[in-house]
Structure 1
Amino acid sequence: MITAGPRLDFLVSLVPSCGTLCDVGTDHAYLPVMAISQGRVKKAIAGDIGEGPCEAAWKTVHSHHLEDVISVRLGSGLTVTRPGEANTVVIAGMGAGTMVEILDAAPEVLASPTLTTLILQPMNDSEKLRHWCERSGWGILREELVQEGNRIYEVLLLHKDPSFHYEGLTDLVGDDLVRRHHPLLGMFVRRLIAKYDRLLSSMEKSSKARQSEHYQTSVETKKRLEEILHGNDCQ
C-alpha cells in the first residue's frame, strides 16, 4: 500500500480511464502503481532518465507484483514510449521549461491519435506551458491548484485543441482558476504578489533598474494580479 500526499493523490485522480499511461520522470513509480491499483489504466510505462530512479521504480513495481502491466524504462522524456503506445501522459515534479523541451522533442508521440490527455504539474514557470499550448495543437481543458504542506502546486490538464488561445488577464495565473473562483486562488495570487513586491523593492534601489523594461512589466504584472485578487473577492 502506497501512502501518498495530496499532490500525488490528486494527480492520480485526474488520470482518465484508458489503456496505457506513460509517467515521465516516474522516480519510484508510485503514480503508475496507484493508477493501476485503482483500475484507472490497464497498463503503464514508468520512465526516468536516471538509473537510480529506475531501480527504485522497479522495486516498487515488483513489490506490488505488477511486472506484467508496468514497464519500467530508462530514457529521456518521451523517448521511453512509442507513437501510438500511450493514451495519457503525466509529467510532474519538474520545471515547466524542462517540460516544454520534453514535449517539443516528441512531436510524433504527441501527434498520435491514441494520445488524448496530458497531465502536467510544473514546479515553476507555468506560463511557459500556457504559451506552449498556443503553438502546439494542445489546449487547456482544466487547471487546478493543490496544497501539500506549505506549498501550492499547479496542475494543467490538456487535450488536443488546435484553436486554443489563452485569454487570461496574466499568463501567471490560469484563466480557468479565475473563472471557477478556485478556493486556493486567493492564497496563490497573494504569494505571487508578495514575490513581485520583493522584486520591485529590490529594483527600486537602483535608478537604472527602475527605468528598465523589466521593472515596468513587473509593475504591470503586479497590477494584474491585484485585479484578479480583488475582482474575484478572493479569501
Structure 2
Amino acid sequence: RFDALATFALAGVGGGGFAGGGAGGGVVVADVCCGHALLALGMCEREEVEKVIAIDRSELELVVARQNVRRGGEVVGEAAVSARVALREGDGLAAIEPNERLDIVVIAGVGGNTMTRILTDGGLALDGVRQGVMRLVLNPPAKDAAQMRRWCAANGWEITNESLVVENGTMHVILCVDRNSSGACELSMRDEIIGPLLSKQSSDLVKLYIKKRLEWVREVRRQASQNLQRLKRQATPDAMAIAEGEITVKHYDDMEEVLLDAMGISIEDQKRRVEEQFQESMKRGFQGFVEGDRELRDGE
C-alpha cells in the first residue's frame, strides 16, 4: 500500500505533469496521520521529493516514528534523512504553518469523517485559505470512498487516478485528486459509488468491490425500511420523519440499481429472479403440505 501511495503522490512530478513543486522541481509532502512514518521514510528517498512532513496527533505513534527515522538514518545517512523528514505532533494540517510551503497532502489510515474534517479544517475545501497544495492522495476504507469522492468533487478536486488495495483482509481505496481550476463539479451516482476510473475496469478486485458495495447497500436499505415501517406504525405518525425515511429508502434503491447495472444485471432481471425464487419456495412448501396431508389420510 505504501508503494501505491507514493506512486500516486509523485506521478508526473518533475516531468511536467504536475503543477506544483519548488524551483528545483522537488515537492514538499505532508504525510498526515503518519503512524510510524514508514511512508515518509520511503518517499524521502525519491529524488522528486524535497521534504516530507510526517504528522500524527499520537505521541506514542511518534515515539516509534522517531525510532524508525533514526534507523533509516543509520542506513542511508543521518544527515540525509533528518534533512528530508520532519516529524511533528499535531492534529492534521494544524501542524503546518499558514505560510509554509506544501505541495502534496497524503492522508491514510483514518475514516472518511476524519479525512473530511482534516481537509476542511486545513483550508483545502472550496472556500479554503491554504494555497499551493495541488494534489491530495487519500486512502479511506472502501466503505468511505463514496463520501470522499463526493467531498472532492464538491470542493474543487478532480479524481485523476484511483485504485483498490487489500491489506490485512481489509479493502481500501486510493484516490489521487488534483486541484480543479474549474471549481466544484458533480459526480453521477455511479461515479460516486464505484469511481469514475474504477468503473471502467473489470478486474476481479473491482468486481469484488462492487459486490461488497451491493451487500452493504442491501443491508442498510433493509434497516432503513424497517425503521420506516416502525415510523408508520406509531400511534401518531411523524409525517416529516416518514417522508425523510421514504427518501432514504429510495436513495438506497437507486444505489442498488446502479450497482446491479455495473454487474450487468438490470433491476427488472433482479426482480424477476426474486419472484421466481419466491414462487419456487412456495411450490416446495405446498408440495410438502400435500404429501404430509396424504400420509395422514392414508393412516386413518
1:9 CA displacement:
2.2
Structure richer in strand, relative to its length: 1
Q: Is the 8 A contact 1:23 1:90 kept in 2?
A: yes
Which stretch shows the higher mean deviation, 140-149 or 52-61?
140-149
Give 1:130's aligned amino acid. Answer: R
2:237 maps to which residue? none
Aligned equivalents of 1:228, 1:87: Cα separation in 2: 36
| Equivalence for 2:31 | 23
In structure 2, the CA distance between the partners of 1:56 and 1:147, relative to structure 1 (3 Å rule), is same
Which residue of 53, 74, 77 corresponds with 2:92? 77
How many angstroms does 1:184 deviate by? Answer: 2.0
Compute the displacement of 1:76 (Å). Answer: 0.6
> Bigger relative contact order, structure 1 or 2, given CA contacts below 8 A and separation 6+?
1
**Counterpart check, 1:158 vs 2:177:** yes
Q: Which region of structure 1 is more displaced relative to structure 2, 101-110 or 49-58?
A: 101-110
Q: Residues 174 and 79 of structure 1: is their aligned pair in 2 closer, same or farther, counting only changes over 3 Å?
A: same
Inter-partner Cα distance in structure 2 for 1:186 and 1:111: 39
Write out per-residue CA displacement over residues 121-161 of structure 1, whole angstroms, 9 at most, x where no aligned residue. 11242222222223322221122111234322111101110
Question: What do the CA deviations read for 1:47-97 (whole angstroms, capped 9, x no partner)?
Answer: 011111122111111111122221100111111223452211100111111
Residues paired across the two proteins, number? 225
| 2:40 is equivalent to residue 32 of structure 1 | yes
Match of 1:227 among 258, 261, 265: 261
Tell me: CA distance 1:183–1:209, structure 2 relative to 1, closer, same or farther (3 Å).
Answer: farther
The root-mean-square deviation of aligned C-alpha atoms, in Å, is 2.5
Query: Which consecutive unaligned segments of at least 5 residues does structure 1 have?
Result: 1-6
**Higher helix fraction: Structure 1 or Structure 2?**
2
Q: Which residue of 2 aligns with 1:100?
A: 116
Pairing of 1:36-185 with structure 2 (within 5 A): 36-65=44-73, 66-82=81-97, 83-107=99-123, 112-123=130-141, 124-161=143-180, 162-169=183-190, 171-185=192-206
- CA–CA separation in structure 2 for the residues paired with 1:183 and 1:190: 10
Of 74-83 and 129-138, more deviation after overlay is shown by 129-138
Which residue of structure 1 lines up, in the alignment, with residue 212 of structure 2?
191
Amino acid at match of 2:259: L
CA-to-aligned-CA distance 1:161-203 (integer Å, 9 cap, x gap): 0254323425222122112445521110001112233334455
In the superposition, the TM-score normalised over structure 1's length comes to 0.84
| TM superposition score normalised by structure 2 | 0.67
* Separation (CA, whole Å) in 1 of partners of 2:188 and 2:221: 26
